[in-house]
Amino acid sequence: MEEIVHRVVRVNGIRLHYAEAGTGPLVLLIHGFPECWYSWRHQLTALAAAGYRAVAFDQRGYARSDRPRRVEDYTIMNLVGDVIGLLNALGEERAVIAGHDWGGGVAWQTAQLRPDRIRGVIGLSIPHLPRAAMPPTPLMRVGLGEGYYMLHFQKPGVADAELSRDLYDTFRRMLYAPSGDGPQGASLNVPEGSGFLDICPLPDKLPGWLTEEDIDVYVTEYAEAGFTGGLNWYRNLDRNWELTAPWHDAPVLPPALYIVGDRDMTLGMLPDEMISTESVPNLRGTVLLPGCGHWTQQERPEEVNAAMLDFLRSLD
């Protein structure tokens, strides 16, 4: 098995931790919430064995990377800036980027804003979502209700404290509930007087793709970091909408691939076509994984690795 090494670099005034395996063309792996570099454990070694330099980093606010205190330090411009800054620190002019969940949003946005640095983009779970005509949180309130979990996360300190109270319980619930093994059709709305974890049932036993050792790693990675950094991303949704006005309707130009599970909760919120070829004109394909939920690359590593490698070889 290819060795995974850990390093830290300074980017945009903060320290970013990353895990790396292999040599060759760079594939940068961008995690979501509440994850870290470890969510790409299966891809790091597979990509390295196939002749690629695979790098999975902890984004700002997460795990071993720095956690700026101000909410406004977590805008999409900061996050895209970290991707470009990391490419510079790694000595790479261009890369293929793959992002899952919130990391998918960062990957799509980076490919849209800096296509000169991106050879290709792979979005997992979250497709490219063109900029709406009005800010996101008012749209959510009208269409999904005040209890929608992203609106719940807007309250400073509330979800932060709840998720940090018992890390073992938090990760068991959050990794199980939206997975393909979790209950289907569960609500994403937090009832008044309840917490986010109240809508995430505790599994009787862990699904086959998730071990006690995996839970232990997440608990260790979050023991000091907590959740505030990641939650601050949600607290910039409307600010991001304002900042990206110059790119309204701008297409994502690099070659692209979209991978999603057919039990992913995001599918119910998407149009039938999932990704518009008007907004992603070089979409090479969509891979739908039967029985897979939200944690795409962790639940179905072999299928995800195969799809990624097919896409990467098409670029080479």
Mean pLDDT for the stretch of residues 27-38? 98
Least confident piece of the model among 102-106, 181-185, 211-215, 307-311: 181-185
Residue 78 has pLDDT above 70, yes or no: yes
Determine the pLDDT at residue 293.
97
CATH number of the domain that 42 lies in? 3.40.50.1820
Determine the pLDDT at residue 25.
98
80 closest CA partner among 124, 39, 135, 118: 118
What's the structural domain count of the chain?
1
pLDDT digits (tens, 9 = 90+) for 279-306: 999 999 999 999 999 999 999 999 999 9
Count of beta carbons in the 10 Å neighbourhood of residue 143: 9
Summary mean pLDDT of the chain: 96
Q: Which domain holds residue 22?
A: 5-315
What would the two tokens of residue 185 be? 């059709």
Residue 274 has pLDDT above 80, yes or no: no
pLDDT band at 56 (very low <50, low <70, confident <90, very high): very high
Please give the C-alpha separations between residue 190 and each of 72, 168, 296, in angstroms, as whole numbers. Answer: 25, 21, 24
pLDDT digits (tens, 9 = 90+) for 127-184: 999 999 999 999 999 999 999 999 999 999 999 999 999 999 999 999 999 999 999 8
Residue 80: HSE in the Cβ half-sphere, 13 Å Cα cutoff = 19
pLDDT band at 86 (very low <50, low <70, confident <90, very high): very high
Determine the pLDDT at residue 2.
76
Please give the C-alpha separations between residue 236 and each of 71, 108, 226, 241, in angstroms, as whole numbers. Answer: 7, 17, 18, 9
Residue 212 has pLDDT above 90, yes or no: yes
The burial of 264, by beta-carbon neighbours within 10 Å (0-12 exposed, 13-18 middle, 19 or more buried), is given as: buried
* CA–CA separation, 103 and 39 (whole Å): 11
Residue positions annotated with a catalytic role: 101, 294
Please give the C-alpha separations between residue 245 and each of 118, 139, 237, 275, 281, in angstroms, as whole numbers. Answer: 21, 17, 13, 20, 20
The β-bridge partners of 76 are: none
Q: What order do you get walking across the sheet with 256-261 strand by strand?
A: 5-11, 14-21, 53-57, 26-30, 95-100, 118-124, 256-261, 283-289
